[in-house]
């Protein structure tokens, strides 16, 4: 099975001929001494047992593995691959990516994906994140494009130009790429957390980041049988986040001005107001299901 897989800090996304999906980037080590109900399934790797994704999220015991940097994420890639296989994504050929600023770890990533799915390393390609989104929307963009990928941890960007097909060049040539750290939706979630802590000090300790991410999406929270309307908090946090984002985007202003299409993908695109996006560029394209766009584009590379 061919699979485009996007290993993000917030979620792992996949796209194959038979389906697509995502799960939270969460891992908990399971120690045999702790009680576990039989419905939950673990993944074995390196002599240890792990709960992954939804299983990790719904299992309150176990030791959470903190995945805060790319090296750590790559280390746990085989665990995510085995979880994918358990979910029916038995990949034999994979295209995946790394943030543009971490392409030096490409070989390491290839090895770990190959190990996770037990396939030869030649069957795995690693491309810069952002190029997946670019391929996903290639029919909707003009010839000079800036792609913003608003992720959980980072805001990545890629500046690309359509190559000259007569010369037999690749369709797009990447001119420039980079990342702004700590400008993903995590920063928005932190803001929600601090506003929330101020208004409901008694409830704050009960929430994980994934809970808070859900609050940002649903704008309300049900706790102890009571529903809290958090629209105002979410709006205030989003405004603060958009100001931060605008600060980073200002540093890309030259690129934004030069390009004729601005593409905004990644899960963060769900959270940004259309008005804000239009204030950045007159021609903005947001891919369908923007968080899956990257994986869908990676998959496209396998079809060619």
Ligand X SMILES: Nc1ncnc2c1ncn2[C@@H]1O[C@H](COP(=O)(O)OP(=O)(O)OP(=O)(O)O)[C@@H](O)[C@H]1O
Residues near Mg ion, by CB under 5 A: 8, 151
Which residues touch 68 (CB under 8 Å, ≥6 apart)?
Answer: 9
Rounded distance between C-alpha atoms, residue 230 and residue 158, angstroms? 34
Rounded distance between C-alpha atoms, residue 129 and residue 294, angstroms? 7
297's contact among ligand X, Mg ion, none, with CB below 5 to 8 A by partner kind, is none
Rounded distance between C-alpha atoms, residue 145 and residue 255, angstroms? 9
User: Which class for 32: exposed (0-12), middle (13-18), buried (19 or more C-beta within 10 A)?
Assistant: exposed
With vertex at residue 173, the alpha carbon angle to CA 169 and CA 176, rounded to the nearest 5 degrees, is 160
11's contact among ligand X, Mg ion, none, with CB below 5 to 8 A by partner kind, is ligand X
Residue 30 or 295 with smaller CB distance to ligand X: 295
With vertex at residue 264, the alpha carbon angle to CA 233 and CA 253, rounded to the nearest 5 degrees, is 95
Residue 51 or 180 with smaller CB distance to ligand X: 180
Query: CB 29 → Mg ion: shortest distance, Å?
Result: 24
213's contact among ligand X, Mg ion, none, with CB below 5 to 8 A by partner kind, is ligand X
- Nearest Cα residue to 258 out of 191, 175, 197, 180: 175
Query: CB 131 → Mg ion: shortest distance, Å?
Result: 12
Query: CB 282 → Mg ion: shortest distance, Å?
Result: 26
Residue 62 or 100 with smaller CB distance to ligand X: 100
Query: CB 291 → ligand X: shortest distance, Å?
Result: 4
Residue 78 or 265 with smaller CB distance to ligand X: 265
Rounded distance between C-alpha atoms, residue 109 and residue 89, angstroms? 18
289's contact among ligand X, Mg ion, none, with CB below 5 to 8 A by partner kind, is none
Residue 5 or 160 with smaller CB distance to Mg ion: 5
Which SS3 state, helix, strand or coil, does residue 136 take?
Answer: helix
131's contact among ligand X, Mg ion, none, with CB below 5 to 8 A by partner kind, is none
153's contact among ligand X, Mg ion, none, with CB below 5 to 8 A by partner kind, is ligand X
Binding site for ligand X (CB under 6 A): 8-11, 151-154, 184-185, 213, 216-217, 266-268, 270-271, 291
Q: Rounded to the nearest 10 degrees, what angle do helices 209-218 and 185-199 cross at?
A: 90
Query: CB 29 → ligand X: shortest distance, Å?
Result: 21
Residue 56 or 213 with smaller CB distance to ligand X: 213
């Amino acid at each position: 099975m061919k699979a485009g897989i996007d290993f993000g800090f917030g979620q792992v996304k996949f796209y194959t001929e038979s389906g697509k999906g995502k799960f939270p980037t969460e891992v908990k080590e399971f120690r045999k001494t702790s009680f576990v109900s039989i419905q939950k399934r673990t993944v074995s790797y390196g002599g240890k047992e792990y709960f992954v994704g939804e299983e990790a999220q719904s299992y309150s015991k176990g030791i959470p593995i903190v995945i805060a940097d790319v090296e750590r994420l790559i280390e746990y890639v085989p665990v995510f691959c085995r979880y994918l296989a358990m979910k029916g994504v038995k990949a034999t050929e994979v295209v995946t990516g790394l943030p543009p600023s971490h392409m030096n770890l490409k070989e390491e990533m290839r090895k770990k994906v190959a190990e996770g799915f037990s396939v030869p390393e030649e069957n795995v390609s690693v491309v810069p994140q952002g190029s997946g989104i670019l391929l996903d929307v290639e029919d909707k963009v003009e010839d000079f494009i800036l792609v913003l990928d608003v992720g959980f941890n980072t805001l990545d960007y890629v500046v690309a130009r359509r190559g000259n097909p007569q010369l037999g060049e690749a369709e797009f040539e990447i001119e420039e790429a980079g990342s702004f750290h700590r400008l993903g939706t995590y920063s928005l979630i932190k803001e929600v957390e601090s506003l929330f802590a101020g208004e409901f000090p008694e409830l704050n300790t009960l929430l994980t980041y994934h809970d808070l991410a859900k609050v940002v999406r649903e704008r309300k929270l049900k706790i102890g049988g009571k529903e809290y309307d958090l629209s105002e908090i979410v709006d205030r946090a989003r405004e603060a986040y958009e100001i931060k984002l605008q600060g980073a985007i200002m540093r890309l202003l030259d690129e934004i001005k030069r390009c004729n299409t601005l593409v905004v993908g990644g899960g963060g695109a769900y959270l940004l107001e259309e008005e804000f996006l239009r204030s950045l560029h007159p021609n903005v394209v947001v891919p369908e299901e923007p968080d899956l766009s990257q994986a869908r584009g990676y998959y496209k590379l396998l079809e060619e």
